[in-house]
């Protein structure tokens, strides 16, 4: 939000719904602009998850799930594009690749706290509700409904990210289960020799393979994807591709090992199944 807009209008009550990376970027930008305006803002943040700032992408505790972009592109500050790189260096983390997403989550959490503290120091009011917003009505003033309450704001910023939708029309039987890649505990408990279908072949599908690898799960993985395209590798060393090609190499080397489990686990990731099936055997 630009200072010119805030200074010239009556905007002073701002709601931010959802507190993931986008909310941190918004607060960072508010901090940069709000210090120089006379009126005081009241900013209310609503987040349903107990983990603030991490959102869906940066909440995993796994070291193996890494950023898919270089740190140079991940600063939350428009003014300081190298902010994340400097933050990493200040913690002795060097190198451009293989930065775990949980580290980026730490960065976001820290930035959130420092933004809130700075805004409060400048006399602005920041309130955080750890609750789910049920509805928003847009009128002259915007109403936010949550936990049986209604509050009104001049501006309501929706920063709720994407929703994980459970796929429809999957008939399960017996020991078959459907999991999301965010269900790390059940993933860790997948039985040896399981047949695992992974819906989609994008970055989340690679995450699913990496997670299963990191939990030492041996089995038979099938990637089911409508386009059959693996994610574009953005890093210089192409870590995702290397890990995937290692798995495929192992498949070739040990192709006829046991494949007799009747436990099918379907992960849903970001792409729904259609016409192409890629298979990875992992023993």
Ligand X SMILES: Cc1cc2nc3c(=O)[nH]c(=O)nc-3n(C[C@H](O)[C@H](O)[C@H](O)COP(=O)(O)OP(=O)(O)OC[C@H]3O[C@@H](n4cnc5c(N)ncnc54)[C@H](O)[C@@H]3O)c2cc1C
Rank residues 160 and 220 by Cβ distance to ligand X and give the closer one. Answer: 160
Q: Is 28 in the site for ligand X (CB under 6 A)?
A: no
Q: Is 133 in the site for ligand X (CB under 6 A)?
A: yes
- We find the least distance from the C-beta atom of residue 283 to ligand X, in angstroms, to be 26
Q: Is 46 in the site for ligand X (CB under 6 A)?
A: yes
Strands 142-146 and 133-138: antiparallel
Q: Please pick, from the candidates 16, 29, 43, 47, the single residue that binds ligand X as defined by CB under 6 A.
A: 47
Per CB under 6 A, contacts with ligand X among 227-256 are: none
CA distance 186 to 168: 20
Q: Which stretch binds ligand X (CB under 6 A): 89-97, 112-120, 153-161, 253-261?
A: 153-161
Q: Please pick, from the candidates 49, 97, 106, 250, the single residue that binds ligand X as defined by CB under 6 A.
A: 49
* Closest CA relative to residue 213, chosen from 236, 176, 239: 239
List 35's β-bridge partners, or say none. none
Q: Is 48 in the site for ligand X (CB under 6 A)?
A: yes
Per CB under 6 A, contacts with ligand X among 103-132 are: 132
Counting residues that bind ligand X (by CB under 6 A) gives: 25
Q: Is 136 in the site for ligand X (CB under 6 A)?
A: no
Q: Please pick, from the candidates 16, 18, 112, 153, the single residue that binds ligand X as defined by CB under 6 A.
A: 18
CA distance 90 to 150: 43
Contact partners, residue 249, CB within 8 Å, separation at least 6: none
Q: Is 157 in the site for ligand X (CB under 6 A)?
A: no
CA distance 221 to 199: 11
* Closest CA relative to residue 58, chosen from 94, 19, 91: 19
CA distance 14 to 215: 43
Q: Which stretch of DSSP H or E encloses residue 126?
A: strand 125-129
**Residue ranges that bind ligand X, judged by CB under 6 A:** 17-23, 46-49, 55-57, 67-69, 101, 132-133, 159-161, 204, 207
């Amino acid at each position: 939000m630009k200072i010119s807009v805030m200074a010239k209008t009556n905007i002073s009550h701002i709601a931010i719904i959802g507190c993931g990376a986008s909310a941190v970027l918004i607060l960072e930008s508010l901090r940069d602009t709000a210090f120089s305006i006379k009126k005081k803002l009241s900013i209310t943040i609503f987040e349903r998850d107990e983990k603030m700032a991490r959102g869906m992408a940066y909440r995993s505790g796994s070291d193996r799930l890494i950023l898919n972009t270089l740190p140079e592109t991940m600063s939350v500050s428009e003014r300081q594009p190298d902010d994340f790189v400097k933050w990493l260096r200040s913690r002795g983390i060097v190198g451009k690749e293989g930065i775990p997403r949980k580290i980026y989550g730490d960065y976001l959490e820290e930035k959130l706290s420092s933004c809130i503290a700075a805004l409060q120091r400048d006399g602005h009011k920041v309130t955080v509700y750890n609750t789910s917003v049920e509805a928003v009505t847009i009128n002259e003033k915007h109403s936010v409904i949550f936990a049986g309450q209604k509050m009104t704001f001049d501006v309501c910023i929706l920063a709720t990210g994407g929703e994980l939708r459970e796929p429809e029309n999957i008939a399960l039987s017996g020991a078959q289960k459907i999991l999301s890649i965010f269900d790390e505990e059940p993933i860790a408990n997948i039985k040896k020799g399981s047949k695992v279908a992974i819906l989609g072949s994008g970055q989340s599908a690679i995450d699913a393979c990496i997670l299963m690898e990191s939990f030492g799960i041996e089995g038979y993985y099938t990637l089911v994807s409508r386009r059959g395209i693996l994610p574009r590798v953005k890093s210089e060393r192409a870590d995702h591709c290397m890990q995937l090609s290692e798995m495929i190499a192992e498949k070739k080397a040990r192709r006829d090992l046991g494949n007799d489990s009747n436990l099918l686990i379907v992960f849903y990731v970001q792409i729904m199944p259609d016409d192409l099936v890629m298979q990875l055997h992992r023993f």
